Amino acid sequence: MTNRKGERTKELIVRKASAVFNCQGYMASSISDIMHETGLGKGGIYNHFESKEELMLAAFAFSLQTMGHFYAQALAGKHGCAQSLLSLASVFEQMAQRDVLPGGCPIMNAAIEADDAIPLLLEKASEAMTHVSDMVRLIVNTAMKTGEVAETVDTEYVTTVFISTLEGALMLSKLYRDATHMTRAIKHLKSFFSMELGLTV
């Protein structure tokens, strides 16, 4: 029973910390902020984590797990290249509207902030973005194999444009607190799918 209580406390810390770090920043957020959100003392936090860095990495992993859940939900039951890609885009649209993950995309936030200051976090962010890119590549490559799109399509080009368009729009939506930027970005992607992939959207 005691061990299970400890697990629940650790889960609480990670869940609360993920929101704090993603909204306030990893460097700007303090252990005091986590204490305030969890209602725990400093000893209660460090009883489960040896350092702030360890907590940051656990919180980032939790945010990625949450993102993965939203991606899986969006893709469930979807068929075809256009439908699948737009389903992934819908997750970014929800982030722009603050319906999911307070603070926006955890990968973008970590990548921008970590840079050279938190090398390990930057590495984890890079791995996470590669995973998102792989989802896009898989959708496009599958469409090529089924004949839905031409075999001459440059998958890497499509992946770069898709992700950079959505991440850029999310940044603008967050900066100006206006999800219209995301709406415009998705409208652009629909035209892009038509021109570059020959898809009817």
Query: 117-132 b/e with 16+ CB inside 10 Å = b?
Result: ebeebbebbeebbeeb
The pLDDT tens digits for 61-85 are 999 999 999 999 999 999 999 999 9
**How many whole angstroms separate alpha carbon 28 and alpha carbon 121?**
15
CATH value at residue 6: 1.10.357.10
Query: In whole numbers, what is the pLDDT of the chain averaged over residues?
Result: 93
Task: Determine the pLDDT at residue 189.
Answer: 97
**How many whole angstroms separate alpha carbon 134 and alpha carbon 123?**
17
User: What pTM value is reported for the model?
Assistant: 0.89
- As for how many domains the chain has, the answer is 1
The pLDDT tens digits for 163-194 are 999 999 999 998 999 999 999 999 999 999 99
Domain containing residue 106: 2-197
Alpha helices in the chain (DSSP H): 2-24, 31-38, 42-46, 52-75, 81-96, 106-114, 119-146, 155-176, 180-197
- Tokens found for residue 147: 């004949």
**How many whole angstroms separate alpha carbon 51 and alpha carbon 39?**
18
Cβ–Cβ < 8 Å for 47, 111: no
Task: Determine the pLDDT at residue 98.
Answer: 77
Angle at 26 between CA 175 and CA 110, to 5 degrees: 65
The pLDDT tens digits for 124-133 are 999 999 999 9
**How many whole angstroms separate alpha carbon 71 and alpha carbon 94?**
11
- Dihedrals φ, ψ of 198, to 5°? 70, 25
